[in-house]
Chain A
């Protein structure tokens, strides 16, 4: 009878342990702490702790949004993705929500966040002409009139009027994927209300 090599560590064992370790690593990567900037929740959401407790992650709000303004994060929670679309405050997501995660809101006073212009990236800020670009101003004039030009032609955002709908982010012609970071490529981004301090 052929003698079996009595190694304590067979290849199968090794593969099994390697598979387990890599799956644990992947689990950690997927469950890693959220980034410092809190994700923007859809309008009608309460604060993020309550929202995460009560959201069943069924995805109905994502499917219901006609503007495609809501997207999934890695854990499956919905967040406002202005790179895809902007919020028209129609309330379709709150109507679709089967739980109390998204509550009905008043579209006149609802606020998702505040737009902030990155002056290093903005085309109008970096050129001396008075009427360059201004796509965000043009689109915002039809909605909230929250973006205005100063005398140099640079756009500014009125944080009181801005309701964070994200139309300016959607239309901003700067590449969405500069530096490999989709959040930083655009010259304007929506910051959650708490981090701005309003």
Chain B
């Protein structure tokens, strides 16, 4: 159900511009790994290389290896579409399909992957919405459009949609930055529950959030504007926030820059 990610020597480009340089790291299964760092340091770009969403951007391409257990996501003969079915993603702004009902939103990924009986579909949708702590709020209006929910509910709907297809890994790109504190808390609690089943990688600008939800934290930085972003260090979250091994990390954590 949850797989280990092993990245080695990964660089990503937008056309000729190198956005991230030579990143290697391991993401442990059934844990939460947080990416922190100043804006433009490439943490979101790096996240998007993990499910091959980076190359959707015109000119985007990648060098290096991303191993999901023992399979290289960038190997020849790997279908990026199949990768994205295995590695789910939640975005910064909640993006439920506006024309679909709540039910259809959650079922969307399942319908792409194959045919399900109506009863099966109903069970999975219920299970996913319960998994996203949204079931009690929406069970009476599953046929209403998803865009009618509040921002926090929409984001949980997107999480339900992502986990409905039982991915190996769940990537979250600043999932709470468009939400109010109460919705943020709900999502953070949910992340704590989801890590029992999935490998979770979360990009966040909020260091308290990284400290609260993650087991391991990776700090990214860039030498100067226009330079590619680099991984400075990755370690146990507790260590990163108390006694990091690199000075730049400590400066960032303690608010001396960034």
A binds B: no
Q: Which residues of A contact B (CB under 8 A)?
A: none
